[in-house]
Amino acid sequence: MSIPVTVIDYGIGNLLNMVRALEHCGAAVQVVARATPEAAQASRLVLPGVGAFGDGMAELRARGLDDTVRNFAATGRPFLGICVGLQMMFEDSEEMGTHAGLGLLQGRVLAVPVTRADGQPHRVPHIGWRPLQAARAWDDTILSEVQAGERAYFVHSFTAEPRDPAVRLADVDYDGRRLCAAVQRGNLTGCQFHPERSAGAGLGMLRRFLAL
């Protein structure tokens, strides 16, 4: 039997790939672009995202979906934020000014450092396949069937800095800079990488999300 999942469409998400990946994993996907009773009553909610933090928050507010996400998060049902969707889970971002986020998790979104740990310049945005490093145990999370060192696909110029280190689920090393790759607290999970673009490991994560 297909597992119902609601995906938020706020105009800047990587929607098609996300929907296809979830359907491939056995989900019956409903896409919502406005605050509706159906969105509030979702069994599982996914907030994908590409682009700028401020634009994403503006679109969520314009569609009434910011409160939908906050109210859903309080229900205890499974929630997944991806890329900018993860970043918007936090209190604010410094991308192109200071912009308030959803405030589901404490912490800020900061620019990826423009230098390596040795001070030499490196490329930003951070793009490519990188091995995931455990920040804490992955039991009973979407990473529970992933081995440390498996690679995921990243493309981002900003990175979340949770205030509580226990929120960090996985990290990624970028030339000696340890960046937050995934977060989890209770029913809330976020991935800075794109599971829908991370081959078999990524699809395995989505299957685990459907099983939560």
> Which residues have CB under 8 Å from 18's CB, separation 6+?
7, 46, 48, 82, 196
Give the number of other CB atoms < 10 A from CB of residue 23.
13
Query: What's the CATH fold of domain 3-211?
Result: Rossmann fold (3.40.50)
Residue linked to tokens 């977060």: 183
pTM: 0.97
* Amino acid (1-letter code) at residue 104: L
d(CA 87, CA 84): 5
Q: Tens digits of per-residue pLDDT, 104-148?
A: 999 999 999 999 999 999 999 999 999 999 999 999 999 999 999
172 token code pair: 């990624």
Task: For the chain, give every domain's residue range.
Answer: 3-211
Q: Percentage of the chain with pLDDT > 90?
A: 92
Which residues are the active-site residues?
A: 83, 194, 196
